Structure 1
Amino acid sequence: MPDIPVVPRPPHSAAEGRNGVPKEYVHLGRTEMVFLTTWHSREDGEFSLSARWPAPAEGLPYDPRVLTQTIRQSGLIIAHAAYGVPLTDQTLLHYFDFTVAPGFRVPADGPCGLDVEVSVAEPKKRGRTVSSLGMDVRVLQGGSLVARADSEFGWISPRAYRRLRGEHLAVDWNAWPLPAPVDPRTVGRHTPHDVILSAGDRPRHWQLRNDVDNIVLYDHPVDHVPGLVLMEAAHQAANASLHPAPFEATTVTSEFMRYAEFDRPCWIEAEILPAGPGEISVLVTAAQDGETVYRGRLSGPCG
């Protein structure tokens, strides 16, 4: 179970980020992994945030992990500071779909600033407590829309989460076998510890590898494979399926069905699907013990 410090909800002026975004409000253990710098409420259900991204690895237009982490952090800070969701509640990610403007690039020579705008749908409640929030997230660079996400976050109490997870709540962190990574170049990465796929027994089939040295994805111990890890696995599987042709996904849809556990193999499989003229689409499925835990579809221009 994630070790999330209990921090009192600040008064409204402090919650609007004048002193930065506390790492506890985005469920992170490392301050350097917090990509948001400020936030404030514009009007009912509308929020503005600012973000600072590190330069991407050489040759990459941007780091998809930083984009998805920024969207995740935006949802969490708004939920906790603006809607009073307790920090002790466990977060559920129901779906996470996003589009990226073709040709989106960030500077390779240093950090860059971006703006984030969020529209929150009417909260769903369980009694007086917010149980889920639907969010429309827009990322802007120099005033131009470069990415947009549609997602729904949910929350359950610690007691309900303990019942849900049962024996899986306790994890011997980083004690699982770590199979060898595939060649980083085939999945659009530069270093082996950034690779989360290991070769399977047939084409377009891999085993998920959970390397906690990848601190962008494994910031702190948790009791199940994070949703952003499965999204990154889909990104790498799509790149590997199309290698050596370059691939930049401009539309990604993700659906989370079950928890993926650390102590058993999780298998990633990709299928290249028919798409419109000038486009290519890859369906990626993650399965464990014969059950689908995640399904994602990545589409983008080909050639």
Structure 2
Amino acid sequence: MIGSLQDAHKPAPGSTRSTSFTATTATTDTAAQAAPEAVAGSAAATASNFFEQPVPRRFVHRASVAEVLLTGFAKDGRPDTFLLAAQWPRGHSFYRTARGVHDPLLFAETVRQAGLLISHVGYKAPLAHAALMRNLSYEVTAAGLVCAGTPTDLILSAICTDVRFRKDVLLGFQITTVLRRGLELEPVGIGRGELQCISPAAYRRLRGGAGAVSPPADPAPLPEPVSPALVGKDARADVVLSRTDADDTWLLRCDTAHPVLFDHPVDHVPGMALIEAMRQAAHCMLYPQRTVMVRLKATFERYVELSEPTSVRAIIEDTEADGSVRVRVELTQSDRQVAVGWCSCRSFV
């Protein structure tokens, strides 16, 4: 039986790697190909209470319960391997289903939440510590994005490598997850990321005066967005790009009141907002073709400050074997590159 998450953050005596869960068998090898034991463990999980309710929001750094995608967690008996469950809604206020296809950034957010949940519950990282996602990538199949007549239940087999501690306190790790769905638990995607955990004192030293999260007393008006149709959105409020005079270049448009991209007060532009900017820039480049971003590789090099303008520039690089068009998107601030992403987009029509 999968244990309760409510007491999961209480340290186990004498060990920083134990958890309060009874383990369900799962594994992923270093090539991210799940072994037969993982499939068996996944099957056991789907028969349990893995999908009854979201995990506590504090473990995935969300203020809104509605934004929590993970619903279950178990630790394997082997070191650094975990089993997680997630549920994608049929409709989401921002990551919207279109023509029977889930928004693939639900997978990116699922990988982000998986890393956070594992850090706090699997490795006992204090909740007061900041988490920095240094890179995030995913690849998902058409079958993985099908939205049917019910919410989509998913199983993630996760393995963590390069797990680093200092005096029994987690510093960070790299995570690889295999996404599975359906009665046969078919592998339909793979996600990777690198998470760094930072103590409050270290974060204050790192961020200095930029670490304040108080909203400005008189926020500047937002620049005019590009047309929602260009970026695959329905509402102007969901557009994160604004036009510039330069070709294939936009300004990042940060609405700190956005209920999803800015779910809670922060002192910098969140990583998922940067990924959304990359995706929207790629869509602008490929318009009027309607595409889905089936692959992403994103690297975050610096904190992106809310108080400074951020340039978003896109370059079409190549057409890949499956027909996807790869677009490189560079984000710069104060003449320094702060993030870069490779977005591979293709049509499912």
Whether the aligned pair in 1 keeps the contact of 2:156 and 2:177 (CA below 8 Å) is yes
2:210 corresponds in structure 1 to: 168
Q: Distance in 1 between matches of 2:120 and 2:335?
A: 36
Deviation at 1:219, TM superposition (A): 0.7
Whether the aligned pair in 2 keeps the contact of 1:50 and 1:115 (CA below 8 Å) is yes
Q: Distance in 2 between matches of 1:8 and 1:252?
A: 32
Question: Which structure has the higher relative contact order (CA within 8 Å, separation 6+)?
Answer: 1
Q: Across the two proteins, how many residue pairs are aligned to each other?
A: 297
Structure 1 residues 8 and 21: alpha-carbon distance in aligned structure 2, compared to 1, 3 A threshold? closer
Q: Distance in 1 between matches of 2:260 and 2:299?
A: 21
Deviation at 1:59, TM superposition (A): 2.1
Whether the aligned pair in 1 keeps the contact of 2:21 and 2:74 (CA below 8 Å) is no
The question of 1:49 aligning with 2:89 is answered no
1:3 corresponds in structure 2 to: none
What TM-score do the two structures reach when normalised by structure 1?
0.90
The question of 1:37 aligning with 2:75 is answered no
1:295 corresponds in structure 2 to: 340
2:9 alignment partner AA: R
Structure 1 residues 103 and 239: alpha-carbon distance in aligned structure 2, compared to 1, 3 A threshold? farther
Deviation at 1:252, TM superposition (A): 1.1
2:196 alignment partner AA: G
1:221 alignment partner AA: P
Deviation at 1:191, TM superposition (A): 1.4
Structure 1 residues 204 and 109: alpha-carbon distance in aligned structure 2, compared to 1, 3 A threshold? farther
Whether the aligned pair in 1 keeps the contact of 2:8 and 2:21 (CA below 8 Å) is no
Further displaced range: 12-21 or 25-34? 12-21
Residues 14-48 of structure 1, C-alpha deviations (whole Å, 9 max, x = no match): 69898751111111111111111111112222111
Whether the aligned pair in 2 keeps the contact of 1:176 and 1:262 (CA below 8 Å) is no
2:115 corresponds in structure 1 to: 75
Whether the aligned pair in 2 keeps the contact of 1:35 and 1:70 (CA below 8 Å) is yes
Deviation at 1:224, TM superposition (A): 0.4
Structure 1 residues 233 and 108: alpha-carbon distance in aligned structure 2, compared to 1, 3 A threshold? farther
Structure 2 gaps of 5+ residues are 1-6, 13-18, 24-48
**In structure 2, which of residues 159, 165, 171 is the aligned counterpart of residue 125 of structure 1?**
165
Residues 142-186 of structure 1, C-alpha deviations (whole Å, 9 max, x = no match): 112222112110111100100110110114426243112211111
**In structure 1, which of residues 127, 141, 157 is the aligned counterpart of residue 181 of structure 2?**
141
1:4 corresponds in structure 2 to: none
Deviation at 1:110, TM superposition (A): 4.5
The question of 1:59 aligning with 2:98 is answered yes
Over alpha carbons, which structure has the higher Rg? 2
Q: Distance in 1 between matches of 2:298 and 2:175?
A: 15
Deviation at 1:267, TM superposition (A): 1.0
Deviation at 1:85, TM superposition (A): 0.8
SS class of match (1:249): strand
Q: CA RMSD in A?
A: 2.3
1:260 corresponds in structure 2 to: 304
What TM-score do the two structures reach when normalised by structure 2?
0.79
Deviation at 1:58, TM superposition (A): 4.9
Further displaced range: 213-222 or 155-164? 213-222
SS class of match (1:113): strand
Give the share of equivalent positions with the same residue, in percent.
Answer: 33
Q: Distance in 1 between matches of 2:318 and 2:145?
A: 27
Residues 215-263 of structure 1, C-alpha deviations (whole Å, 9 max, x = no match): 2221100000011111111011101111001222222111111111111
**In structure 2, which of residues 192, 210, 214 is the aligned counterpart of residue 150 of structure 1?**
192
